[in-house]
């Protein structure tokens, strides 16, 4: 079967997403492939679809049991034979996988990289006819990444042993990581490489300065009650505190961090996959492999560690392509903490410099003066026009020429030996006469009292933005005293100007403009469709999105299909799901639905379906012959379906399909219908 046919019949899509088709064609052709695609860009389809086209078995190396089990469930729901060999399997599940492999019916076999350490695995995979290796989350091969998995280093060896093509996929790979992937997985020989755009246009980006952060997160979640979300926190204690506060406020929430028992972590993962509207408050330990497509929002209660981390974490929202949101809180303490983390790490100096640069890119995004998406994509080397889907496009920032106050602040830092934090420097600029100022003689500095044009909160915002633009940096050797960077020198010398946002902590946006999934008119129907999905999911004991994703339900609510033919055209409705769930959902949308013969139902949404209907109508007219006096006769539904699919062009072919008697009665009229349809 062709890739296009499988795309429609199995996965329920009329067309590939941008960038998918070229990757799918390369993998089908057996080329070694590296695809760097945005999170939620449809990576899994790029190896699942080739696995169905190519002969033999495709082995998928994937890092998390929860992710593997989820993908296996989704494939089986779509009618694909898939299985996973994991430590979490029951004996019955493992036996079923082996039976499928021995019978030659299993097309995709999922395995964790750790399983490659077991003796005899290459021989086993050779015996079962593995014809393609797919590697998910390929960046795990990078020893500098926080997701590094040592067993990923065995995959290159497996590729050589099997002599099979390898397709590697990741969402986050800078040039350094790409080079490591090529070296470790492909022996340094460049594979076919596809770098697809990093844009996730369905995600709305917003940032806000911290001002009672717990209250800000609670307010944000309250405006999105009932939606699945993740809140990322910098500490384990904070995950537990915010989770408790959310539960107290009436949300369904739980926490997740690396200090929990493995069983407790698995329990949270299982809940998150199955429960609609659950909020997980987590450290970054809850991350890689989270493949729940209907996460509607991701909030950061603390600033992430780098722009790559930010991109990966917010990318967990809206993987189904429906509207989603990313909201990030940050403040000067975050900046100080992240700088300290880098400076105190055991990494070599060039690595520290690279990490500071990555943090600078994230701070540049947080303190951006124009469109967030333009700033974010610019970091990844892509040009973008203002997106209309971020807080700065919603309400442009109020910008002012801050060259003079920035020079005042830099001067105050230099004249005090770069040994003091923002609090003390602000006191000097405001002309405060407290003991600390007087004891050090800082009341006699030329900068003493020169900044009275701004109040304390405005100066805090100026210093925060200066740290965000990397003009001042906390110096660990001076107990966090602010030190001027090289980037600031041209400003101090009057050679460059600098613009900042005229915002204060008090005036920070709260991010509570909720992006609606559908219009007010369609909202009740979407709610009813979700209720039907929930009931079916509970009955089948699977996550709701395994039945249909939010995006598919949204399209149903907007298109309001009236027949199975219309329903089959909804994105994400493949032939198996049409057969299994079409009638249930159509009854919610349109009330009673006419029953279709199974042979006709299989043609729903295709041209053959309408052709079948016309043949049926012609047959009804001729059931007693042309003059209406003959013996009643009619083809079976299967016979009509076969004619609609084969589309014979002559009486001889038609006779072979129907038999002489039926061809004599209906042949000429059927051929006329087929001719008109061609």
Query: Given this model, what pLDDT does residue 506 score?
Result: 46
pLDDT at 290: 66
CATH class of the 3-195 domain in this structure: alpha beta
Phi-psi domain of 625 (left: phi exceeds 0; alpha: psi -120 through 50; beta: other): left
Return the CATH fold of 523-595. Answer: DNA polymerase; domain 1 (1.10.150)
Range list for CATH 1.10.10.10 in the chain: 399-498
Give the tens place of pLDDT for each residue, 513-526: 667 777 888 888 99
What would the two tokens of residue 642 be? Answer: 């076969």
Q: Is the pLDDT of residue 40 over 50?
A: yes
Counted residue by residue, the chain has a size of 678
Between vectors from CA 238 to CA 284 and to CA 303, what angle results, nearest 5°?
Answer: 55
pLDDT of residue 173: 67
CATH of 203-394, one of 1.10.10.10, 3.30.200.20, 3.40.50.300, 3.40.50.970: 3.40.50.300
Question: Cβ-count burial of 36 within 10 angstroms (0-12 exposed, 13-18 middle, 19+ buried)?
Answer: buried
Pairing state of beta strands 279-282 and 229-232? Answer: parallel
- Beta-strand runs (E) in 270-380: 279-282, 297-300, 324-330
In Å, how far are 552, 562, 582, 587 from 592, measured between CA atoms?
A: 21, 10, 12, 6
Q: What mean pLDDT, rounded, does the chain reach?
A: 88
Helix (H, G, I), strand (E, B), or coil: what is residue 606?
coil
Q: In which band, very low, low, confident or very high, does the pLDDT at 475 lie, cut at 50, 70 and 90?
A: confident
pLDDT the model gives residue 310? 92
Strand partners, 399: 501
Specify which residues 57 forms β-bridges with.
130
The predicted pLDDT at position 344 comes to 86
Mean pLDDT of 443-452: 92
Domain 399-498 has CATH 1.10.10.10: yes
Which pLDDT value is given to residue 621? 86
Mean pLDDT, residues 227-235 taken together: 94
Compute, in degrees rounded to 10, the torsion defined by CA atoms 460, 464, 469, 475.
110
Question: Is pLDDT larger for residue 508 or for residue 656?
Answer: 656
In the predicted model, is pLDDT for residue 245 greater than 90? yes
Q: Is 61 helix (H, G, I), strand (E, B) or coil?
A: strand
Rounded Cα–Cα distance for residues 371 and 430 (Å): 33
Of residues 594 and 270, which shows the higher confidence score? Answer: 270
Token look-up 């989270």 returns 290
Q: What percent of the chain has pLDDT over 90?
A: 44
Distance CA 22, CA 52 (A): 16
How far apart are alpha carbons 81 and 4 in whole angstroms?
19
Sign (positive/negative) of CA torsion 385, 391, 396, 401? negative
Torsion of CA 666, 668, 672, 675, to 10 degrees: 110
> Residue 347: phi, psi to the nearest 5?
-70, 155
C-beta of residue 376 within 8 angstroms of C-beta of residue 197 = no
- Judged on CB neighbours under 10 Å (0-12, 13-18, 19+), 586 is buried
Query: What is the mean predicted confidence (pLDDT) over 635-647?
Result: 89
Mean pLDDT of 624-646: 86
* Partners of 229 in the β-ladder: 279, 297
- Ordered DSSP codes for 330-351: E-HHHHHHHHHHHHTSSS-HHH
Kindly report, as residue ranges, where domains of CATH 1.10.150.80 are found in the chain.
523-595
pLDDT of residue 508: 45
| Least-confidence region, from 195-209, 411-425, 524-538, 613-627 | 613-627
Buried/exposed code over 369-406 (b: 16+ C-beta within 10 A; e: otherwise): eebbbbbbbbbbeeebeebebbbbbeeebeeeebbebb
Is 50 exceeded by the pLDDT of residue 404?
yes
Sort residue 387 into left (φ over 0), alpha (ψ -120 to 50) or beta. alpha
Helical residues (DSSP H) of 367-486, grouped into ranges: 372-379, 391-394, 403-415, 422-430, 435-439, 456-468
Supply the pLDDT for residue 88.
78
Q: How far apart are the first and last CA of the chain?
A: 22
Mean pLDDT computed over 449-476: 90
Closest CA to 418 of 342, 367, 509, 488: 488
- CATH 3.40.50.300 in the chain is located at 3-195, 203-394
The tens digit of pLDDT for each residue in 324-338 reads: 999 999 998 999 899
Q: Which of 39-43, 147-151, 337-341 has the lowest mean pLDDT?
A: 39-43
DSSP category for residue 139: G
| pLDDT tens digits for range 158-178 | 899 889 999 999 877 677 888
Helices of type H across 33-174: 45-53, 65-77, 91-103, 121-127, 155-162
Read off the pLDDT of residues 540-579 as tens digits, 9 standing for 90 and up: 888 889 899 999 999 999 999 988 888 988 999 988 898 8
Classify burial at 277, counting beta carbons within 10 Å of its beta carbon; exposed 0-12, middle 13-18, buried 19 or more.
middle
Hunting for tokens 């050589």 — which residue is that?
A: 160
pLDDT-based confidence at 511, cuts 50/70/90? low
pLDDT at 296: 94
- Strands 399-401 vs 324-330: parallel, antiparallel or unpaired: unpaired
Give percent above pLDDT 70 in the chain: 96
Q: How far apart are CA 522 and CA 557, in angstroms?
A: 6
H helices of 163-212, in order, are 175-186
What is the CATH T-level fold of the domain 607-677, as seen in this structure? DNA polymerase; domain 1 (1.10.150)
């Amino acid at each position: 079967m062709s890739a296009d046919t499988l795309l429609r019949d199995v996965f329920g899509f009329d067309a590939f997403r941008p960038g998918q088709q070229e990757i799918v064609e390369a993998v089908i052709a057996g080329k070694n492939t590296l695809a760097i695609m945005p999170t939620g860009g449809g990576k899994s389809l790029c190896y699942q679809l080739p696995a169905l086209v190519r002969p033999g078995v495709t082995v998928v190396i994937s890092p998390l049991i929860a992710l593997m089990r989820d993908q296996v469930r989704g494939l089986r729901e779509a009618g694909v034979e898939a299985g996973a060999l994991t430590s979490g399997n029951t004996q019955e599940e493992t036996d079923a996988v082996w039976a499928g492999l021995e019978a030659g019916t299993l097309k995709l076999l999922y395995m964790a990289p750790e399983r490659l350490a077991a003796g005899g695995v290459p021989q086993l995979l050779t015996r079962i006819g593995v014809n393609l290796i797919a590697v998910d989350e390929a960046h795990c091969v990078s020893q500098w990444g926080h997701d590094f998995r040592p067993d990923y280093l065995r995959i290159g060896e497996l590729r050589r042993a099997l002599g099979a093509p390898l397709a590697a996929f990741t969402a986050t790979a800078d040039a350094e990581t790409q080079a490591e992937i090529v070296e470790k997985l492909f022996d340094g020989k460049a594979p076919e490489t596809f770098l697809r755009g990093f844009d996730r246009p369905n995600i709305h980006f917003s940032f806000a300065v911290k001002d009672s952060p717990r209250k800000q997160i609670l307010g944000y979640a309250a405006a999105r009650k009932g939606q699945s979300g993740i809140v990322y926190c910098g500490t384990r204690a904070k995950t537990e505190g915010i989770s408790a506060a959310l539960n107290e406020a009436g949300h369904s929430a739980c926490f997740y961090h690396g200090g929990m028992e493995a069983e407790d972590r698995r329990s949270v993962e299982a809940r998150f996959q199955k429960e609609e509207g659950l909020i997980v408050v987590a450290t970054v330990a809850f991350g890689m492999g989270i493949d729940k497509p209907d996460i509607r929002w991701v909030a950061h209660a603390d600033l992430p560690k780098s722009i790559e981390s930010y991109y990966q974490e917010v990318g967990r929202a809206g993987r189904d392509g429906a509207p989603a949101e990313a909201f990030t809180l940050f403040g000067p303490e975050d900046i100080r903490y992240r700088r300290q983390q880098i400076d105190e790490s055991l990494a070599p100096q060039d690595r520290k410099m690279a990490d500071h640069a990555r943090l600078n890119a994230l701070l540049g995004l947080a303190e951006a003066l124009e469109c967030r998406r333009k700033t974010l994509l610019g970091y990844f080397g892509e040009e973008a026009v203002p997106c209309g889907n971020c807080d700065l496009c919603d309400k442009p920032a109020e910008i002012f020429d801050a060259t003079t106050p920035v020079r005042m602040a830099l001067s105050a830092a230099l004249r005090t030996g770069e040994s003091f934090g923002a609090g003390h420097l602000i006191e000097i600029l405001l002309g405060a006469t407290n003991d600390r100022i007087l004891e050090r003689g800082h009341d006699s500095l030329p900068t003493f009292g020169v900044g009275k044009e701004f109040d304390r909160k405005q100066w805090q915002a100026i210093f925060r933005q200066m740290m965000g633009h990397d003009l001042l940096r906390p110096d660990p050797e001076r107990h966090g005293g602010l030190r001027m960077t090289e980037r600031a020198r041209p400003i101090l010398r009057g050679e460059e100007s600098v613009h900042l946002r005229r915002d204060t902590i008090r005036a920070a946006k709260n991010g509570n403009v909720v992006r609606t999934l559908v219009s007010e008119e369609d909202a009740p129907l979407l709610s009813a469709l979700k209720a039907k999905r929930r009931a079916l999911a509970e009955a089948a004991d699977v996550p709701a999105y395994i039945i249909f994703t939010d995006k598919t339900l949204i399209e149903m609510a907007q298109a309001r299909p009236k027949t199975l033919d219309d329903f089959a055209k909804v994105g994400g409705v493949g032939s198996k799901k049409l057969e299994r769930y079409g009638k249930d959902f159509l009854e919610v949308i349109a009330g009673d639905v006419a029953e279709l013969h199974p042979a006709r139902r299989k043609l729903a949404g295709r041209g053959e379906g309408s052709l079948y209907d016309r043949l049926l109508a012609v047959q009804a007219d001729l059931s007693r012959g042309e003059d209406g006096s003959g013996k009643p006769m009619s083809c079976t539904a299967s016979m009509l379906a076969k004619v609609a699919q084969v589309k014979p062009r002559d009486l001889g072919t038609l006779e072979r399909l129907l038999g002489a008697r039926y061809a004599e009665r209906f042949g000429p009229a059927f051929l006329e219908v087929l001719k008109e349809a061609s």
